[in-house]
Structures are given as C-alpha cells and as structure tokens.
Amino acid sequence: MGTLLDLFIVPGAAIGLALGVILAMLFHWLAPAGTDTGSAAAWFIGVSWALGMMWSAIYSERRK
C-alpha cells in the first residue's frame, strides 16, 4: 500500500488537479465582486481531483 503522496502521482488525479486550479482561477477572475471565491476555489480543486482519481480508478489497467 502506498503513501498519501502516491495519490498525487496518479495521472488522472494530476490532470484533475490542474483542471481544478484552472477552473478556480477562471472563477476568481470572472466572479462578481463580493463573491466568496476562496471556498468555491477549494471546491473546484477538490472535486476535480476526486473526479480525476475516479477516472483513473475506472479506466486504468489492473495488474493481475
């Protein structure tokens, strides 16, 4: 069993993390004044990372 840092090395998680950061930056830039962009950014990044993990788990080839 790997460590917690091994989860960040999974390609799907890394792609999801990068897309989440991009979405968070776009939301921060485009959101109207007074919008709580900090918590929205955390949600974008976390959900994108989790979706990337699930994508990797579903569509990866498993060793037997």
Q: Residue 48: is it exposed, middle or buried by C-beta count within 10 angstroms (0-12/13-18/19+)? A: buried
H or E element in which residue 55 lies: helix 37-59
Q: Which domain holds residue 36?
A: 4-58
Q: What is the pLDDT of residue 64?
A: 55
pLDDT tier, 10 (very low <50, low <70, confident <90, very high otherwise) = confident
CB atoms within 10 A of CB 63: 4
- Domain tally for the chain? 1
**Domain-embedded: residue 12:** yes
Residue 7 pLDDT more than 70?
Answer: no
As a whole number of angstroms, the distance between CA 59 and CA 13 comes to 13
For the stretch 20-62, pLDDT in tens is 999 999 999 998 888 888 999 999 999 999 999 888 888 777 6
**Domain-embedded: residue 34:** yes
pLDDT tier, 18 (very low <50, low <70, confident <90, very high otherwise) = very high
**Domain-embedded: residue 28:** yes
**Domain-embedded: residue 22:** yes
